[in-house]
């Protein structure tokens, strides 16, 4: 059974009490600072911001296994516990889910109709994230849900091993269809406009007020199925121009999510505050376009570039201790990756020089490294680029740094592979080796921007993807990772974590899966 879903809160009230929306002091209110409050409550519009700001109102059919502080490997996609569904069963026609006795903040009981409505709505409004999740899980968008009885549904289709991930993901939460339908109109039959500024969910909190881009105030759902939430209200603030340090030290915030590395470094060890870095699936990577630059098509050149980078120094300095040196093509937080580390991730400048000297590029070559402000979330991307420029100069590689100011332009450069080397983040949505490798590092993968195409890796990943979840799938995936690590198709730099700061009076900072502050254990001390 899952522990209390205070994950939606992502923090708790400070010892001295926080200021409520009305200005009164309350010992039972959490005020949390997030990088940005979305301009709409509709997660599709700003999905990354939604991970931090919208969780108080969401509750999914299943949940990830809660984790303790200090755990470094995230739960696999099959490590799920009950959510709004108390049990599930794979059948030839799809996935059957038995719903629990749950009640929305509006007082309506959870029914099979709510589940069907949520999926049908995602298809009808062409929700790209919903479509992605259904496609990933093998759920048939033409007929996603069959109602078997009032509290039993079947998700239809030739479901894949990742169907559990698809219904466990933070987005979308199951909607209270009774409330949503009350706000539908002839021009807006799915109440999309109403949902931009209102909530209708079965989560622990419901929206009381919303100021786009600035603040969300949530109040407790006293009907919540895992018990009454520990806070009467949750206030989500955008840090905006203020540093999270200012908000925390002034008492304006009790908790800060996804703080930059310099904030984590400043707050670490400060009396009255607790800091923690939760592992994530994300890596900072230099993607190498092996079709654009002949030198990068040479495996020994790539190996040399990798071994010339002091990853521990990068993690300790530029990333301010919020990252760990990469040891493999995927983050070590993915189950099964830790046993497939690669020797070319070790810092050895002498060996790097020897490798480069053995290639036709012993005299070096020119390389353009493309970055943007968003290349390295939480740190200064230019500092990363300059560190790489200095490291690779030792090999005779003359690095020119190209800084792209526009996020949309940078995205275009990445997706069109119109670069030589690109500093970016890679974060597969699910902690599954086969899935991640099939997307990022095999021929035809939709996010294989560097054109990785190693036959051994392609074959092993294809075998792994065809397996159900379990030991054999993980074994084949780990073999594919080990094979990739031998040729170094790109240069993974660090496994990036997510840093949190909480005021004293907050207990339970822990490892939170999948980029969102799923603070299962948080409560007032």
- The answer to whether position 273 is within a domain reads no
The domain tally of the chain equals 2
Q: What is the mean pLDDT of residues 54-77?
A: 85
Same domain, yes or no, for 441 and 512?
Answer: no
Nearest CA to 147 among 116, 123, 190, 180?
116
Please check whether residue 10 lies inside any domain of the structure: yes
Does residue 321 share a domain with residue 242?
Answer: no
Residues 442 and 514 in one domain: no
Number of C-beta neighbours around residue 128 at 10 A: 11
> Could you report the per-residue pLDDT of 388-417, keeping only the tens digit for each?
999 999 999 999 999 999 989 999 999 999
Whether residue 415 sits in one domain with residue 472: yes
Give the model's confidence band at 17: pLDDT under 50 very low, under 70 low, under 90 confident, else very high: very low
Residue 196 has pLDDT above 50, yes or no: yes
Same structural domain, 41 and 122? yes
CATH at 18: 3.40.190.10
In a domain, 269, yes or no: no
306 domain residue, yes or no? yes
The answer on 368 and 254 residing in a single domain is: no
Q: Is residue 166 over pLDDT 90?
A: no
* Collapsed DSSP state (helix, strand, coil) of residue 222: coil
* CA angle, 111 then 115 then 120, to 5°: 135
Helix, strand, or coil (residue 436): helix
pLDDT of 137? 93
Judgement on whether residues 124 and 175 belong to the same structural domain of the protein = yes
Q: What CA–CA distance (Å, rounded) separates 153 from 116?
A: 8
Residue 24 lies in a domain: yes
Please give the pLDDT value at position 483.
97
Same domain, 327 and 224: no
Whether 422 and 471 map to the same domain: the answer is yes
pTM comes to 0.89
Same structural domain for residues 317 and 179?
no
Residue-level pLDDT at 338:
86
pLDDT at 26: 44
387's tokens:
């560190």
pLDDT at position 66:
78
Calpha distance 387→382 (Å, rounded): 9
Residues whose CB falls within 8 Å of the CB of residue 325, separated by 6 or more in sequence, listed in order: 311, 312, 314, 315, 345, 494, 495
* Span 229-243, pLDDT tens digits: 888 988 988 887 678
240 assigned to some structural domain: yes
What b/e string do you get for 28-48 counting C-beta neighbours within 10 Å, with b at 16 or more?
bbbbbbbbbbbebbbbbebee
144 inside domain: yes
- The more confident residue out of 51 and 449 is 449
State the pLDDT at residue 12: 30
Question: What is the band of 2 on the pLDDT scale with cuts at 50, 70, 90?
Answer: very low
CA separation for the pair 192, 32 (Å, rounded): 27
Q: Tell whether 60 and 162 lie within a shared domain.
A: yes
Which residues are CB-neighbours of 67 under 8 A, at least 6 positions away?
Answer: 74, 75, 510, 511, 512, 513, 520
Question: ∠ CA(83), CA(85), CA(90), 5° rounding?
Answer: 120
What does the pLDDT read at residue 421?
A: 98
Supply the pLDDT for residue 106.
Answer: 95
Q: What range does the domain containing 467 cover?
A: 279-496
Write the pLDDT tens digit of every residue in 244-274: 888 999 999 998 888 899 999 999 999 999 9
- Cα 151 from Cα 110, distance rounded (Å): 8
| CA–CA separation, 316 and 104 (whole Å) | 45
Same domain, 416 and 433: yes
């Amino acid at each position: 059974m899952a522990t209390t879903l205070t994950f939606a809160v992502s923090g708790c009230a400070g010892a001295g009490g926080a200021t409520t929306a009305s200005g009164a002091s309350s010992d039972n209110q959490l005020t949390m600072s997030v990088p940005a409050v979305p301009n709409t409550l509709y997660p599709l519009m700003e999905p990354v911001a939604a991970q931090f700001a919208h969780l108080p109102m969401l509750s999914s059919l299943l949940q990830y296994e809660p984790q303790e502080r200090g755990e470094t490997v995230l739960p696999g996609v099959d490590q799920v516990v009950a959510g709004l569904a108390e049990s599930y069963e794979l059948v030839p026609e799809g996935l059957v889910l038995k719903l629990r006795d749950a009640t929305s903040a509006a007082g309506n009981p959870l029914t099979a109709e709510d589940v069907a409505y949520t999926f049908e709505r995602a298809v009808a409004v062409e929700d790209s994230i919903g479509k992605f999740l259904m496609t990933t899980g093998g759920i048939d968008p033409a007929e996603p849900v069959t109602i078997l009885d009032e509290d039993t549904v079947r998700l239809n289709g030739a479901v894949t091993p990742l169907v559990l991930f698809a219904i466990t993901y933070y987005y979308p939460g199951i909607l209270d269809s009774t409330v949503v339908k009350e706000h539908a109109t002839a021009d807006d039959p799915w109440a999309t406009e109403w949902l931009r500024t209102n909530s209708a969910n079965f989560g622990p909190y419901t929206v009381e007020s919303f100021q786009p881009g600035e603040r969300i105030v949530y109040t407790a759902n006293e009907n919540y199925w895992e018990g009454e939430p520990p806070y009467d209200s949750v206030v989500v603030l955008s840090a905006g121009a203020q540093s999270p340090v200012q908000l925390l030290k002034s008492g304006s915030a009790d908790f800060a999510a996804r703080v930059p590395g310099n904030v984590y470094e400043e707050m670490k060890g400060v009396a009255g505050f607790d800091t923690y870095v939760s592992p994530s699936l994300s890596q900072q990577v230099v993607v190498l376009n092996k079709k654009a630059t002949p030198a990068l098509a040479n495996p020994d050149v790539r190996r040399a570039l990798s071994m010339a980078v002091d990853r521990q120094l990068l993690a300790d300095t530029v990333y301010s201790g919020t990252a760990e040196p990469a040891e493999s093509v995927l983050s070590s937080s993915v189950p099964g990756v830790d046993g497939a580390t690669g020797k070319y991730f070790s810092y050895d400048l002498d060996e790097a020089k020897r490798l480069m000297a053995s290639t036709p590029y012993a005299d070096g070559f020119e390389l353009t490294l493309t970055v943007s402000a968003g290349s390295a979330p939480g740190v200064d991307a230019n500092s990363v680029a300059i560190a790489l420029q200095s490291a690779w100069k030792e090999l005779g590689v003359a690095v020119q740094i190209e800084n792209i100011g526009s996020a949309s332009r940078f995205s275009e450069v990445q997706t069109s592979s119109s670069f030589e080397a690109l500093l970016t983040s890679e974060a597969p949505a699910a902690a599954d080796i086969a899935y991640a490798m099939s997307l990022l590092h095999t021929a035809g993968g939709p996010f294989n921007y560097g054109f990785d195409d190693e036959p051994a890796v392609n074959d092993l990943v294809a075998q792994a993807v065809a397996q159900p979840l379990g030991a054999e799938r993980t074994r084949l995936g780990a073999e594919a990772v080990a094979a990739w690590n031998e040729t170094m198709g790109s240069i993974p730099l660090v496994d990036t974590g997510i840093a949190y700061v909480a005021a004293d009076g907050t207990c339970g900072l822990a490892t939170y899966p999948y980029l969102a502050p799923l603070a299962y254990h948080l409560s007032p001390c």
